[in-house]
Amino acid sequence: MSEEALRGLVSSRSMSRGFPRLGRFIFAECVAGAYLLVFAPVAMIVLISFFAQEIVSFPANGLTLHWYANAWARPEFSRGLLTSVQVAMATTAIGVPLGVAAAIPLVRSRFPAKAGINVLLLAPLALPGVVTGAGIYMMYVAAENVLDTDIKGTMVGLVAAHTMLTIPWTVRLVVASLQGLDEAIEEAAANLGAGPFTVFRRITLPMMRPGIVAAAMFSFIQSFENLDLTLLLVGPGRITLPVAMLNYLEFRMDPTLAAVATAQIVLVGALMLVTDRFVKLSRIV
C-alpha cells in the first residue's frame, strides 16, 4: 500500500495534530513494513505459480498456467485436496451443531460448574496442536489394539479430531451472537402462543444466524488448513493437503507446489468474501 493511501486512511483527526511530517512519514513506513512482512510470502507464492521455469529463479522466463494442471495431475495433491475438503465438510457438518447446542445453555441457563465447563469447551484452542495430536495418536493406536480396527489414518479418526478442534470457535461465536439477543422477543413469541420449538425455529435460530455462518466458515477453514494436529493422524492414502504440501516442501519448493498453495489461498479468500456478504466479519472478529 502506498504511503499516500496510508495517510489518507489514517483518521486526520488523530494524526494531523502535532505529528511533524517526518514523524508521519516514518509511522506510515512502519505500518506498510509490517503489512509487507505479512503479505510478501503470500504474494510471492501466487507470483511463482505462474513462472514458466521449473526451478524457482528470477526473473520469470515467461508465464504459464501449466503448473496448475501439473499439480492436479499429481495424486498426492489432487487426493489431498479431496481428502481435506471431505474432512473439512464433515467436520463443519458435525462440529457446528454440537457447538451451537453447547452454546445455548452456556448463555441461557444456570448449572453447576459452569465456569469449568466453559474452560473445557474452549481448551482445544489454547493447547498446542502437536501435543494434542500426539495424545490423540497414542489413544487411537491404543484403541486400535483393543478394538482390532483401524482408526488412525481413517476418515472417522480425522473428522473426530478436527471436530474437537473446532468446538471452541463455534461456541465462542454463537455465545457472542446469543448474548446480543433480547430475550424479550422470545418471551413475546411465547406469549403470543408459539410453542418452545416454534420459538426456537422462528426466533432464536434466525437471530443466531450470523454467529452460525461465521462458525461454519471458521470451522471449515480451521479444519482445512490444520497441520499441527493432523500430522500424526494421517495414514497411507489419506493425507490432507497441508501435510502433502509439507512433505513435498521438505524436498523442494517449485511452481507446482506454488500452484497448490495458490489454490488454497484462493479458496480461503473466496470463503471469507462469501461469508462477509452474509455477516460482517469485522463486526464479529
Smallest distance, other proteins to C-beta of residue 24, A: 9
Check: CB of residue 213 under 8 Å from CB of residue 279. yes
Q: What's at 29, amino acid-wise?
A: E
Q: Which residue has the cell 488448513?
A: 225
User: Rounded distance, CA 76 to CA 109, Å?
Assistant: 48
Smallest distance, other proteins to C-beta of residue 27, A: 6
Smallest distance, other proteins to C-beta of residue 207, A: 16
Smallest distance, other proteins to C-beta of residue 235, A: 12
Q: Quick one: DSSP state of residue 250?
A: T
Smallest distance, other proteins to C-beta of residue 111, A: 4
| Cβ-proximal residues to 256 (8 Å cutoff; 6+ apart), any chain | 67, 70, 71, 74, 77
DSSP 139-204: HHHHHHHHHTS--TTSHHHHHHHHHHHHHHHHHHHHHHHHHTS-HHHHHHHHHTT--HHHHIIIII
Backbone dihedral region for residue 238 (phi beyond 0: left; psi -120 to 50: alpha; all else: beta): beta
Residue 235 three-state SS: strand
Smallest distance, other proteins to C-beta of residue 137, A: 7
Beta bridge mates, 277? none
Smallest distance, other proteins to C-beta of residue 211, A: 8
Check: CB of residue 158 under 8 Å from CB of residue 88. no
Smallest distance, other proteins to C-beta of residue 188, A: 20
User: Rounded distance, CA 228 to CA 249, Å?
Assistant: 16
Q: Which of 55, 147 has the CB closer to other proteins? A: 55
> What distances in angstroms separate CA 213 from CA 34, 92, 101, 102, 277, one per listed residue?
30, 11, 15, 16, 11
